Amino acid sequence: MKTIIEPFRIKMVEPIKLTTHAEREDLIREAHFNPFLLKAEDVIIDLLTDSGTSAMSADAWGALMRGDESYAGARSWFHFRDTVKDIFGFEQVIPTHQGRAAEHILFSVLIEPGSIVPNNTHFDTTRANIEFVGGKPVDLPCPEASDLDSDFPFKGNMDIDALQALVATEGPEQIPVIMVTVTNNSGGGQPVSMANIREISRVARSAGIPFYIDACRFAENANFIKRREPGFENTAVIDIAREIFSYADGCTMSAKKDAFGNIGGFLCTNDAALAHKERNILILTEGFPTYGGLAGRDLEAIAVGLREILDENYLDYRLLSTQYVVEHLRDARIPVMAPAGGHAVYIDARRFLPHIPPLQYPGQALAVELYLEAGIRSVEIGTVMFGLDPHTGVEKPASRDLLRLAIPRRVYTQSHMDYVLEAIGQVWDRRNDIVGLKILEAPQFLRHFTAHFARLNAAQVPSRGNL
Ligand SMILES: Cc1ncc(COP(=O)(O)O)c(C=O)c1O
């Protein structure tokens, strides 16, 4: 069958409030042309993030009722710990309230001022947590990642030559940990191959440096390996996942992604002495080591979600439904990152709106237009997010201006995606009339969340009337 069906039935629904184009004109103006500042109920299809936005299953909702809320040694903790150990294979499991808490604890114990941490591409919280304790994050994406159009199957790979050169020039004592992010969120949700993971592990082990995996989307990455890497066609995804982690010394995880959690995370290691130090910080900042900032019911739901995410029918549907959107955009010649990644679709806003220079924020302008067109919320990944150096105050174009449409897990159906495609097509048809934006006010750090914008020339924007 060619039709991709959602491999679940819908038992409970959440109504979507429909708005008109005229209403959205007022709403986006009140939100200062920043989709982050919209009320969620004023959004028809919310593609801001796939983090914490998943739909839980009947089993996970049932598990919530089994949550053991004892302070110490709760039954739910053992369920959670044993599930994590079974899939990820590490000896020590440290629960946290979300992924960035795991990062903060790990880097607090591993990093000294001046330490260098390589990664394929650091996610922004990973980068910020390394910098917070005085370390220097270094991104080493593979060269193929810079070509948005090529169909190279593992654009999330790390550049192994660059990693070796970094270890040789800086020396292993300067590098307390080597990381790789699967899939590579900041690099377009692109997967990392098993061959690349083995190579990173080889470099790390021969230099005596611990190797950690940012495991947020580990199941999507494992399924990409099954579908794209020769030799894995007949291996179960859970075994691919186990092999991935067998090459590492530990991992950080946000359960808000590939565990269907609305909250949660964890940190793993095989090093008992390190785990002891980490648990001491955990007690200070998160909670007792058997709950670490989570309710017993959350631990239960995550344990169920970690099993469900490895269902291969679900994973096939997940990857194929993202691919469905990317392929329809490519067929319409709309510039989009290829091949399809796992959790999101990335439109190349600079090529979509070539008449808007980067410092007039084409990605942000496109996010605004997509909201106006059909109530779709997306996020700019470009000059608004990365263009300002917060230390010098100097602004320059980011390397790319992308619009990310992140797809929450099990939340939207194919008809929702058809609606998104139709809306993008309509914005594409009137792209020459779209104007850029200017920033009216913005904080020094992480300005994209709260910046206020104005249209550069509102008079040029065509009136579209009601839907
Ligand atoms: C690759 C990656 N690492 C870490 C994090 C941080 O996780 P959390 O949002 O749970 O703190 C995220 C969240 O989006 C992510 O995508």
- Our CA angle for 9, 10, 12, nearest 5°, is 150
End-to-end CA distance of the chain: 35
- What atom of ligand 1 comes closest to residue 101's alpha carbon? 11
- What atom of ligand 1 comes closest to residue 217's alpha carbon? 1
* 102 half-sphere exposure, CB direction, 13 A CA radius: 28
- What atom of ligand 1 comes closest to residue 100's alpha carbon? 11
260: left (phi over 0), alpha (psi -120 to 50) or beta: left
Q: How far apart are the C-alpha atoms of 261 and 251, rounded to whole Å? A: 18
* 369 half-sphere exposure, CB direction, 13 A CA radius: 30
189: left (phi over 0), alpha (psi -120 to 50) or beta: left
- For ligand 1, atom 4, which residue shows the shortest CA distance? 99
Q: How far is the CA of 141 from the centre of ligand 1 (A)?
A: 18
Q: How far is the CA of 130 from the centre of ligand 1 (A)?
A: 14
Looking at residue 458, its pLDDT comes to 53
For residue 122, what are the CA distances in angstroms to 87, 94, 164, 213?
24, 21, 18, 11
Q: Which residues contact 26 (CB under 8 A, 6 or more apart)?
A: none
Looking at residue 155, its pLDDT comes to 97
- For ligand 1, atom 9, which residue shows the shortest CA distance? 99
Looking at residue 446, its pLDDT comes to 85
User: C-alpha 371: how far from its chain's center?
Assistant: 21
Ligand 1 contacts CB of residue 125 (under 6 A): yes
Q: Do the strands 265-269 and 92-96 form a parallel or antiparallel pair, or are they unpaired?
A: antiparallel
Mutate to test the pocket of ligand 1, among 48, 53, 54, 100 (most ligand atoms within 8 A of CB): 100
Contact by Cβ (8 Å): 181, 120: yes
pLDDT-flagged residues of the chain (< 70): 458-467
Looking at residue 167, its pLDDT comes to 98
pTM: 0.94
- What atom of ligand 1 comes closest to residue 98's alpha carbon? 10
